[in-house]
Amino acid sequence: MTPEEFRKAGHQLIDWIADYRQQVETMPVRAQVNPGDVRRQLPVQPPEDPVSIDQLLEDLNSAIVPGITQVQHPMHFGWFPSNASLASVLGDIASSGLGTLGISWESCPALTELETVVCDWLRQLTGLSEKWQGTIHDTASTACLTALMVAREQASDYSQNRGGLQAETSPLIVYSTAEAHSSITKSALLAGFGSDNLRFIDVGAETKAMSASALRFAIEQDIDNNLRPAAIIASVGSTGVTAIDPVAEIAEIANEFGIWLHVDAAMAGSAMLLPECRKLWDGVENADSICWNPHKWMGTILDCSLFYVKDPELLIRVMSTNPSYLQSTVDDEVIQYRDWGIPLGRRFRALKLWFHLRLDGPEAIRQRLRRDLENANWFADQVRNTEHWQVVAPVNLQTICIRHNPHDMQGDELDAHTLAWVNSINQSGEAFMSASQLDGRWMVRVSIGVESTTREHVEALWGLIQRAVEK
Ligand SMILES: *Cc1c(COP(=O)(O)O)cnc(C)c1O
């Protein structure tokens, strides 16, 4: 494809995307396909002859779009808001169009330096002090794995330079809660800690937040048993019920015992753009690393996860490589982000944050987040004030966990009722919510915060839900 051919096809694609975004509200929210449906429409043999962009866009409409669960749909209330602001989409296109190679400062100085700048802008926008330096990872999963690898090396006096974990005699311990995201367990296992050495600390019965006193007890017990506490992961906004672990108290314990504290605010980090929400991560300044995803509620298109540390030297000590072919004369003046994380080749992700922050602007983003919080409060009030309905967990941000229980149903009967009404709505394509377990029983999470979701959509959802339980 020549640049001239690209210009023509590119205009068509941009028009197609704009049309798609205008029409997404008319589509079913959940993909109305069965396993294998998408694949069956595609040829088994790879193509030999090129097709026109018109043909390709037609196939995009007929074979691909029906196989998408439309998370940009205003009636999407599932999982979490996975916003993809069009301003950030333009930045992503610019990144692809430039075709840069991020393997060293020299391979793309602008990639490195814009990353430093936008991470610092977001540091300021979320009220973090100048002590923090950030980088962009693909996902919070990678950020947590990185944090745990650094914690592991610090706690083992850099065992990687000897026999690694395999030569350690006394196990290293990681502390989190059962409410933490599944990526926390995955990271602990991938970082080599072993499931026997991952402690799920007790949580409050209502709050589902980590008990700081139980944490202290577990750490003291482990030390008495000659085990070595290495890392604590505090969740600010857990996946199930948006539980907020008490970061200030946890940080005090972490500092007292010299344990790495990683704060996972993947979803809730967006809320820190609002000064009134920052009390939720009070104490965060005393953590060792923080991660949050602009690619969730804030709406910089996936993938875009921010990872902040106070001392990048600790990352470099564990992850630096310096082969001769990557060395340059300015190495001691520049940042080499490859040494702050796992991949060598890095995308120019800073561009989508730059486009998003400059074309939409932080104030518009803040207003949208506040709108969503008000909508969540409105929805929670409707549920609380309606007979047989219950809000089953504290509403800390924009997720409301609900149950309907008309005649004192218990156990399996209640589970069957909950799954029946939520599945009937999800299958209809009219709206989408996630069912999730709380204390071993099903409830429904209503996660508000799609960019196009207004009060009218939230009202429509409440109407749908009430009709669904009548059936
Ligand atoms: C979404 C989420 C994650 C995982 O995010 P990825 O970027 O998809 O890896 C981790 N923790 C919490 C609390 C989350 O909400």
Residue 100 alpha carbon to ligand 1 centre in Å: 27
Q: Pocket residues for ligand 1 (CB within 6 Å)?
A: 80, 139-141, 181, 183, 235, 237-239, 264, 266-267, 293, 305
Q: Which of 264, 295, 399 has most ligand 1 atoms within 8 Å of CB, for mutation?
A: 264
Give 276's contacts (C-beta < 8 A, 6+ positions apart): none
Q: Which amino acid is at 273?
A: L
Nearest atom of ligand 1 to the alpha carbon of 305: 7
Residue 281 alpha carbon to ligand 1 centre in Å: 17
Whether the ω angle into residue 54 lies within 30 degrees of 0, i.e. cis, is: no
What gap in Å lies between CA 149 and CA 355, rounded to an integer? 32
Nearest atom of ligand 1 to the alpha carbon of 180: 13
327: exposed, middle or buried (Cβ count in 10 Å: 0-12, 13-18, 19+):
exposed
In this structure, which residue's CA is closest to atom 12 in ligand 1? Answer: 266
In this structure, which residue's CA is closest to atom 5 in ligand 1? Answer: 140
Q: Which of 138, 267, 298, 436 has most ligand 1 atoms within 8 Å of CB, for mutation?
A: 267
In this structure, which residue's CA is closest to atom 14 in ligand 1? Answer: 266
In this structure, which residue's CA is closest to atom 15 in ligand 1? Answer: 267
pLDDT of 322 over the 90 cut? no
Nearest atom of ligand 1 to the alpha carbon of 143: 9
pLDDT of 329 over the 90 cut? no
Are 3-68 and 362-470 in the same CATH fold?
no
Nearest atom of ligand 1 to the alpha carbon of 265: 13
What burial letters (b/e) apply to 133-151, b meaning 16+ CB within 10 Å?
bbbbbbbbbbbbbbbbbbb
**What's the average model confidence in pLDDT over 250-274?**
98
Tell which CATH architecture fits domain 94-359: 3-Layer(aba) Sandwich (3.40)
What gap in Å lies between CA 290 and CA 265, rounded to an integer? 7
Q: Which CATH class is domain 362-470?
A: alpha beta
Which homologous superfamily does the CATH classification assign to the domain defined by 3-68? dopa decarboxylase, N-terminal domain (1.20.1340.10)
pLDDT of 19 over the 90 cut? yes
pLDDT given at position 431: 98
pLDDT in tens, 68-104: 999 999 999 999 999 999 999 999 999 999 999 999 9
| % residues pLDDT > 90 (the chain) | 95
Q: Which of 139, 281, 296 has most ligand 1 atoms within 8 Å of CB, for mutation?
A: 139
pLDDT in tens, 90-146: 999 999 999 999 999 999 999 999 999 999 999 999 999 999 999 999 999 999 999
| % residues pLDDT > 70 (the chain) | 100
Q: Which of 176, 238, 239, 290 has most ligand 1 atoms within 8 Å of CB, for mutation?
A: 239
Domain ranges of the chain: 3-68, 94-359, 362-470
Average pLDDT score over the chain: 96
**What's the average model confidence in pLDDT over 152-175?**
96
Nearest atom of ligand 1 to the alpha carbon of 141: 9
Sign of the alpha-carbon torsion through 39, 40, 45, 48: negative
